[in-house]
Amino acid sequence: MSMDEAHGGGMVSAILSSVVLLLLLGRTADAQRSLEFFDLLPEDPKLYDKMRPPKKDGQATVVYFHVTVMGLDSIDENSMTYAADIFFAQTWKDNRLRLPENMTSEYRLLEVDWLKNMWRPDSFFKNAKSVTFQTMTIPNHYLWLYKDKTILYMVKLTLKLSCAMNFLIYPHDTQECKLQMESLSHTTDEMIFQWDPDVPLVVDENIELPQLQLVKNYTADCTQVYSTGNFTCLEVVFVLKRRLGYYLFHTYVPTCLIVIMSWVSFWIKPEAAPARVTLGVTSLLTLSTQHAKSQASLPPVSYLKAVDAFMSVCTVFVFMALMEYCLVNIVLGDSDAPPKPAAPPPPPSSSGTDTAKLDKIFDIATKENAMLLSGRSQKSSAGPPPGPTPAQRARMRALNIDRVSRVFFPFLFAVLNVTYWIMFAEYI
Ligand SMILES: *[C@@H]1O[C@H](CO)[C@@H](O)[C@H](O)[C@H]1NC(C)=O
Ligand SMILES: *[C@@H]1O[C@H](CO)[C@@H](O)[C@H](O)[C@H]1NC(C)=O
Ligand SMILES: *[C@@H]1O[C@H](CO)[C@@H](O)[C@H](O)[C@H]1NC(C)=O
């Protein structure tokens, strides 16, 4: 029993001492009182409805936006997305709040957690695929209360945004990528977003993109009419122009060189079939590799792009060079056919028929070709011929085709190139 009593007495004294300690602590805290959330609310906290925007004189609450873009990167044509690092500031005035007593400074830092119990704008990033909020070393946001009951909420975010791109004139294209912020649940009757009248948008001048150039940035309004009402929305627009340098040196110049390479065939003698065919086929293969490479980073769009048109024309050129050799070869005649072992005896009566004549001509041509190929001169055979043999005439015709091609192909290619570059000159 005595043990229990002693124990109980100890407990009472402990409680008493802690009460005294608390009172003391309370006193010292009073001397340098920190701001509590309830100090900001009206005298009767029931009067403050955090779901209702602070409408002054029945006017919709105006929320001012400011965006600082610190970085733009990872522009991905395949998934049509890009990434942006931003500081996003929202400013609004809540007249229902009470100011902390004797507020001498221009603004005061508040705990960000208090936002949960206050009215705040419900903006969201309309075209964001993902938003990353960084928490190192402390969560990257803050809340300020100004002397005139204006609240500023600033947050740093990394956004992955979608951007609809059109590649019709790729790689001469200019893309418009947006960053849209819309109200989730308040219609324009209750809340309106507006750009900060002083500094709405700041874009870092040092933004450097590998293939695109930021040529323009501006702010705009994108308020949407839905069946439920009008919802306020603001947007930042980045105008990105593709730099041609990369494509010039990795696509256009090599492709032109391959086409020019395919013309070398016109200067090779018609009999060198392996050389000329190999040159044509190699050019065709290299070109198709180039074509595939030129759109490795692009989504498989179903329309014809400018680079596709150029590549297709080049492919047609190389193909035509190969076909030209086909024609030359036909004109030259089938020189590889084995010569007939012996001339058949002329038929007695039907010697005048056309087939016999043709056979004879063909036979002579074959022999001539065989001699030409083996390098023996005509003179080694018995006696000088009276005129050019059919084989020689065929060879002359073949050479003429080559001669015409030597001028015609480069001329046509130059014309098409000039046409192409004049067409797209305005986008460069
Ligand atoms: C506020 O300032 C006034 C004088 O400027 C002073 O009399 C009053 O005690 C101050 N109140 C608090 C809570 O510090
Ligand atoms: C963004 O636009 C403003 C005004 O048009 C301009 O002064 C600024 O240089 C632009 N910034 C960039 C990075 O292009
Ligand atoms: C929504 O906007 C349209 C035009 O922008 C306007 O005609 C209409 O009255 C608005 N509706 C509401 C409910 O404000």
**Using a 6 Å cutoff on CB, does residue 203 contact ligand 2?**
yes
Give, to the nearest 10 degrees, the angle between helix 354-374 and helix 390-423. Answer: 70
Ligand 3 center–CA 226 separation, angstroms = 10
Q: What is the pLDDT of residue 374?
A: 56
Q: Which of 216, 218, 236 to mutate to test the pocket of ligand 2 (most atoms within 8 A of CB)?
A: 216
Q: What is the pLDDT of residue 336?
A: 47
**Using a 6 Å cutoff on CB, does residue 102 contact ligand 1?**
yes
Six token digits for residue 43: 């005298």
User: Which of 155, 162, 125 is closest to 138 using CA atoms?
Assistant: 155
* Distance between CA atoms of residues 384 and 381, nearest Å: 8
Which parts of the chain sit beneath pLDDT 50? 1-2, 26-31, 335-339, 350-351, 377-380
Closest ligand (CA of 192): 3
Alpha helix locations (H) across 137-268?
245-247, 253-263
**Using a 6 Å cutoff on CB, does residue 101 contact ligand 1?**
yes
Q: What is the pLDDT of residue 385?
A: 58
Ligand 1 center–CA 31 separation, angstroms = 12
| 3 state SS of 92 | strand
**Using a 6 Å cutoff on CB, does residue 3 contact ligand 3?**
no
| Core vs surface per residue 101-111: b (16+ CB within 10 A) or e | eeeeeeeeebe
Beta bridge partners of 83: 73, 160
Q: Are 67 and 193 in contact (CB under 8 A)?
A: no
Q: What is the pLDDT of residue 359?
A: 64
| 3 state SS of 18 | helix
Looking at every residue in the chain, the average pLDDT score rounds to 85
**Using a 6 Å cutoff on CB, does residue 113 contact ligand 2?**
no
Q: What is the pLDDT of residue 9?
A: 55
**Using a 6 Å cutoff on CB, does residue 339 contact ligand 3?**
no
Six token digits for residue 306: 């400018």
Q: What is the pLDDT of residue 30?
A: 45
Conformation bin of residue 92: beta by default, left when phi > 0, alpha when psi is -120 to 50: beta
pTM over 0.85: no
Q: What is the pLDDT of residue 10?
A: 59
The ligand 3 atom nearest the CA atom of 230: 1
Ligand 2 center–CA 142 separation, angstroms = 27
Phi, psi for 100 (deg, rounded to 5): -60, 145
Six token digits for residue 35: 């701001």
Q: Which of 102, 103, 104 to mutate to test the pocket of ligand 1 (most atoms within 8 A of CB)?
A: 102
**Using a 6 Å cutoff on CB, does residue 217 contact ligand 2?**
yes
* Distance between CA atoms of residues 145 and 96, nearest Å: 13
Q: What is the pLDDT of residue 353?
A: 54
Six token digits for residue 25: 């602590």
The full DSSP string for 351-387 is GGSHHHHHHHHHHHHHHHHHHHHHT--GGGSSS--SS
The ligand 3 atom nearest the CA atom of 188: 14
Six token digits for residue 247: 């494509």
Query: 275: which residues sit within 8 A by CB, 6+ positions away?
Result: 265, 268
